[in-house]
Amino acid sequence: MKPIVVVVIYRHPASSLPKFIEGFKDLNVFLATLDYEMIMFGDFNLDLLKHDNTFDTNKLKFKNVCVEFYWWQRMIGPTFQKNSLLDHLYTKDCNKYAVSGHAGSDHDLCYVIRKQQKVEIPTKVILYRTYRNIDWIIFQKDIESFKWDNTNQVCFSNEQIDNMFWTLNNFVMNKLDEVAPLKSMRVKVKVSPWFTNKVNELCILRNLARNKAMKSNEKND
């Protein structure tokens, strides 16, 4: 999972709202250059629940900046006395956050819960045999029953030797399939991307050096 950038903002109620919105947009231009997940919250002192007959240009400009940079407001109820929503909490991906809310104080405690990212562990199919039910004495007799062809020959060509090897190999494997047939099973693959072939080689060298030192009991080892 990528790092999460947490942006905390406080606007003094006596400060200029148009200048704040201008700075808020400049901040988002910078944040847009970062390839990270982000959460933004704070006391904006801008009531998003205020409804009256006047048209609030500043509030509209602020909301347009949020839409432009894909910020979603997670607080839907009042967070301050007199039913005001002054404390904002924004995320950019609603699907990644399960719950948001607020709980009681002068400025209510606002929170959001990040969903745990589910890691899909890859699987693969392996083949295996079960040997516990084999009667090894009977199996040995079956192998000994193998009959060679051309056993009277003293010299064999390379091709004949290869054919004899594969004939014996197929005979043994067929007998093994009778007493311990192959079975398939799906298993999860251990995900360790950091454990590369180079790291594995270094671990082998480390183990060899340790074994040598334990056997020799010499300081130089």
Least confident of 8-17, 140-149, 189-198: 189-198
CB 69 within 8 A of CB 103: no
Which residues, 6+ apart, have CB-to-CB distance to 108 below 8 Å?
78, 79, 80, 87, 102
The two structure tokens encoding residue 182: 């192959």
pLDDT tens column, 144-182: 888 876 555 555 677 778 888 888 889 999 999 999 999
Which residues, 6+ apart, have CB-to-CB distance to 122 below 8 Å?
188, 189, 191
pTM value is 0.50
pLDDT tens column, 32-73: 999 889 999 999 999 888 766 667 888 899 999 999 999 988
- CA–CA separation, 101 and 57 (whole Å): 28
* pLDDT range class, residue 75, cuts 50, 70, 90: confident
pLDDT tens column, 76-124: 778 877 778 888 999 988 788 876 666 555 666 778 888 776 667 778 8
Question: The domain 4-114 is classified under which CATH number: 3.30.1490.20, 3.40.50.300, 3.60.10.10, 3.90.420.10?
Answer: 3.60.10.10
pLDDT tops 90 at residue 30: yes
Domain boundaries, the chain: 4-114, 123-190
